[in-house]
Homo-oligomer: A and B are copies of this chain.
Amino acid sequence: MSLTRQPHLELLDYTITLASENVRSGKGGPFAALVVVDGKIIAEGVNLVTSTNDPTAHAEMVAIRRACAALGTFQLTGAEMYTSCEPCPMCLGAIFWARPAVVFYAASCQEAAAAGFDDALIYHQIALPGDQRLIPMVQVATPRSNHSFETWQHNQQRVDY
């Protein structure tokens, strides 16, 4: 890969500091993330899972949601993300939906696993057929399975995303 964007090391370092502060504050896990546009921080996010009873409140998710709210858009085209740790599959998916240009991260998911955060399990589970996962995901096809898609495709007012 020819990476045209280079990381700002001071932004990565700041992200790690936010992650450590989040632990000391008791708000959640040891993770933080930034959304950066043209070298300027648009949004910060920290892990808020336990303090907000929201299992989706990972640092990257919080940062993406706040950045989109601040910019008034559901796309982060051209933005850079900094995160203290390699994104888990949920956050990776959110990143692909938000579409920033690049993600720089400090710790690997193996290092996260050593600290007790087993993202690697989910990466492994994704590769399995749905009905063989620890949480089975089972298709129950019905004659109406595609009804909402047909409604979508016939809706001239739809906003694609």
The answer to whether A32 and B131 touch across the interface, beta carbons within 8 angstroms, is no
Identical subunits present: 2
A 51-98 contacts with B by CB, 8 A = 53-56, 58, 61, 64-65, 68-69, 72-76, 84-98
Which of A31, A86, A112, A161 has the most chain B CB atoms inside 10 A of its CB?
A: A161
> Do A1 and B92 form a contact, CB below 8 Å, given A13-B142, A111-B146, A155-B24?
no
Contact A153 B49, beta carbon cutoff 8 Å:
no
- Residues facing B in A19-35 (CB within 8 A) are 19-20, 22-24, 26, 28-32
**A75 nearest CB across to chain B (Å):** 7
Nearest CB of B to A148, in Å: 4
Binding site for B on A (CB under 8 A): 1, 3, 7, 9, 12-13, 16-17, 19-20, 22-24, 26, 28-32, 49-50, 53-56, 58, 61, 64-65, 68-69, 72-76, 84-108, 111-112, 114-116, 121-123, 125-127, 130-132, 134-142, 144-149, 151-153, 155, 157-161
27 contacts between A and B (CB under 8 A): A9-B142, A17-B147, A20-B148, A20-B151, A23-B151, A26-B157, A26-B159, A31-B148, A49-B97, A53-B74, A54-B65, A55-B76, A55-B94, A56-B64, A87-B137, A91-B93, A92-B93, A92-B137, A93-B122, A95-B135, A96-B122, A102-B136, A106-B144, A106-B145, A107-B148, A111-B146, A116-B160
A-B pairs with the 6 shortest C-beta distances? A90-B93, A19-B148, A30-B148, A115-B149, A89-B93, A30-B152
